[in-house]
Structure 1
Amino acid sequence: MKTILSSETMDIPDGVNIKVKAKMIEVEGPRGKLTRNFKHLNLDFHLTKDEETGKGKLRIEAWFGTRKTSAAIRTALSHIENLITGVTKGYRYKMRFVYAHFPINASITSGNKSIEIRNFLGEKKGLPLLDPRRSRMRSFWMVMILNSCLVQQL
């Protein structure tokens, strides 16, 4: 069964600017600017103003959607909330290397652009970072701290 109209709205916090153009969402805040492409989803994005408070709102709609389309509304809203959190607060991930017998070594190589993990299950493996401009890493005492604006990057 199809629902005629499914929609959800969210408030845009102060200090954050959101631009919508052809399902490309651009979120700008104190920590930078992030963009996300939602062209693969059959959703409508609208920026509106609340008459009472004057704050901006983002409304996502799906016309004649199935259950999957209705679920995609909340997923897109959560992705946009993650973008807003990234440009206002940022994300930090702490990774501790723990081993029982064979010591695991990790190092930051090629000018903060990749992580090299050695002796994990007996192999030498290099992991590239998705966006080295927005990531900072420091490694000390078998703890690696990754900072980023994108939660998908960590």
Structure 2
Amino acid sequence: MKAMNKLFLVFSPFVLFLLVSGCSNTNVSKTLVIENSKGYEGILVSDASSLVKTDGYEEVFVKSEDRANELIDLLNGKELFEPNEKEIQKRTATLEQSGSYRVLLYNKPSVNSKSEDILPFLFYQDGTIQVDKEGTSYFIKNPPKDLLTQLKTDWNIKF
């Protein structure tokens, strides 16, 4: 009986620890991983207000695998967080302000393609970057400062 009590005293904290750790609600950190096995052929940059209206819509296609790789290198491995619905709605309202842009990594879709031919990013005026992966919207934690301004200058985009 004493041996049984000792076993109980030794294993009960361990079992309790396992139960508590299994029930904890910790957010698992997610990282942006952009698969680039066949290479993106370019980047489409457009005024984000083009999502709603076509008046004053501007876009440019930067046909360059090197430029696509540059963007991938700058963003790959960045930590992501999944915003709640209220945050997404709040951000969506700011897309109409000038200074917000859509940036699409682009490949011409091939027949019967099952890969991602277009990977969309939203660059908000305040520096926030949103990416949609597998039907879920994420924001990049601590995005590179003034990244879009830097890229527009490097890529000679004038709007």
TM-score (norm 1): 0.23
Q: Which has the higher strand share?
A: 1
Query: Greater CA radius of gyration, 1 or 2?
Result: 2
